[in-house]
Amino acid sequence: MAAPAVLRERRGNRMARMSTAPDLAKTDGLKPLERAARHPLMLGLFIPLQQGAWSPSTWTRSTSWSFEYNAECTVRAEELGFDLVFGLAQWLGKGGYGGDMRFREHAIDPLLVTAALAPLTRNIILISTVHILYGWHPLHLAKFAASIDHMSHGRWGLNVVTGYKTSEYEMFGIVPIAHDLRYEMADEFSVLMRRLWTEDENLTVEGRWWRMKNAFVAPKPVNGAVIMVNAASSGAGLDYAAKHSDLIFVTSPAGANLDRACEALPPHNAKIKALARRHGREVKTIINPHVICRETEKEAHAQYRAIMEHQDPVAADNFYATFMGGDQQSWKAATRSDWVIGGNVHVVGSPEQVVDAFVRLHKAGCDGVQVNFYDYLSDLEFFGARVVPLMKQAGLRAG
Ligand SMILES: Cc1cc2nc3c(=O)[nH]c(=O)nc-3n(C[C@H](O)[C@H](O)[C@H](O)COP(=O)(O)O)c2cc1C
């Protein structure tokens, strides 16, 4: 589908533009996460910081890893009423996941991108992934996080990941760390960051993994701490997430098929929320469906088939192998062809069918969807025009 003229014009303009959305905090006085949580189903966008985004396919699209493209996606998402954007972090060698398309070889860093997005936006929550065990000290990240939190007036979130690829640890010259131990380290790291954000005296600590003497962070985050995020699936990972996170990304325990996902998700979501309650906390769970939406079901499926038929087989093999390997427990039920489309649950159809799928995910206990697209700017524009109003009608979005 050709991009609307307005999008072509914007892409021609190399300058990132500012959002035209009104500053909602001035009228509702809510914190960003409280505002997002007013909606029965929060709405997020998984921004395409990586070349090829989620799909190892060469089918035609405008999607780009460039900052300007990601800034336009974010600003447009805010104007269309989205609650959050999220950027993943990865470390790949030359050629990325390989194939002729060199899938994901180029990738810009979400920490830096979300900092740069802060002054371009007013309301949208900006979440960055950070691999906290690749050489970071809690004092560094506590300071950087508090800084971006102030730049964004309390809209910044930290997705804590511990890394599941041996190759990434090797890139940093670090011996890979056993799975559950990584989450014990993440626990200490997160406790120390929170202490630096909340305590008003110099901090001296002899931790199991980190030490600090007379360490201090000021300014403190606007709302006491930044928004904490995690995407674990394992027992150790979910224990960590339940204790520290405000938002938890869930993966379908049954692969990308919507029917099977909606059967498997209710106990998974319930388990996570019960775990958090044991720590006296309420958490929100979000899933990331890959949405292919067109005016008719037939057109949407034609787009799905075109992405499949233009797959880069080498990139797809390598991408799939990554998720099948490693010691992480997410995505294990996804098939190779699921990974050609990418993302998590696949939602393909007309605007009405997409909203029906969202209603089912909501009934399955998900508090939010964070969508991936194939051709980001034009898919986002169509989604904003055709799906968002129907989400309101279906009671998934407040006012
Ligand atoms: C939505 C989502 C986003 C994720 N983003 C990243 C990321 O940016 N970088 C990364 O290394 N891992 C990422 N992960 C992987 C998780 O951090 C974690 O390793 C994985 O879900 C396995 O969980 P487990 O350790 O509990 O088995 C992501 C997972 C999900 C579901």
In this predicted model, what pLDDT tens digit does every residue of 222-235 receive, in sequence order?
999 999 999 999 99
**Inter-residue contact 45 to 371 (CB < 8 Å):** yes
Q: What distance in angstroms lies between residue 249's CA and the mean position of ligand 1's atoms?
A: 8
Considering only CA atoms, which residue is closest to atom 1 of ligand 1? 249
CA separation for the pair 55, 72 (Å, rounded): 20
Coil/strand/helix, residue 368: strand
Please give the pLDDT value at position 9. 41
**14: pLDDT confidence band, cut at 50, 70 and 90?**
low
CA of residue 238 to ligand 1 center, whole Å: 12
Rounded Cα distance between 42 and 227, Å, is 15
* Exposure letters 331-366 (e unless 16+ CB within 10 A, then b): bebbeeebbbbbbbbbbbbbbebbbbbbbbbbebbb
CA of 250 to the centre of ligand 1 (A): 9
Q: What confidence category does residue 328 fall into, taking pLDDT thresholds of 50, 70 and 90?
A: confident
Most informative mutation of 239, 328, 361 for ligand 1 (most atoms within 8 A of CB): 328
Lookup: tokens for 222: 């606007």
Q: What pLDDT, in 10s, does the model give residues 17-30?
A: 999 999 999 999 99
Q: What distance in angstroms lies between residue 247's CA and the mean position of ligand 1's atoms?
A: 13
For residues 245 and 23, give the distance between their C-alpha atoms in angstroms, rounded to a whole number. Answer: 26
Best CA proximity match to 44, nearest among 305, 304, 303, 250: 250
What atom in ligand 1 is closest to the CA of residue 234? Answer: 26
Question: Residue 371 Cα, ligand 1 centroid: separation in angstroms?
Answer: 16
Q: How confident is the model at residue 342 (pLDDT cuts 50, 70, 90)?
A: confident
Q: Cβ neighbours of residue 23 under 8 Å, at least 6 residues apart?
A: 122, 123
For the stretch 121-162, pLDDT in tens is 999 999 999 999 999 999 999 999 999 999 999 999 999 999
The dihedrals phi and psi of 44, each to the nearest 5 degrees, come to -130, 165
- pLDDT (mean) for 170-188: 97
- Kindly report the average pLDDT of the chain as a whole number: 95
Contacts 24+ apart (CB under 8 A), 13-17: 14/68, 15/68, 16/67, 16/68, 16/71, 16/72, 16/75, 16/116, 16/120, 17/71, 17/72, 17/75, 17/120
Could you tell which of 90, 130, 161 is best to mutate to test the pocket of ligand 1, judged by most ligand atoms within 8 Å of the CB?
161
Average pLDDT over residues 106-113: 98
Pocket of ligand 1 (CB under 6 A): 88-90, 129, 161, 163-164, 231-234, 237, 249, 251, 288, 328-330
| 8 pLDDT more than 50 | no
pLDDT at 100 over 70: yes
Confidence band (pLDDT; 50, 70, 90) for 343? confident
Nearest CA to ligand 1 atom 28: 231
* 259 pLDDT tier (thresholds 50, 70, 90): very high
Measured distance CA(171)–CA(134) in Å, rounded: 9
Residue 12 has a CB neighbour count (10 Å cut-off) of 7
pLDDT of residue 13: 52
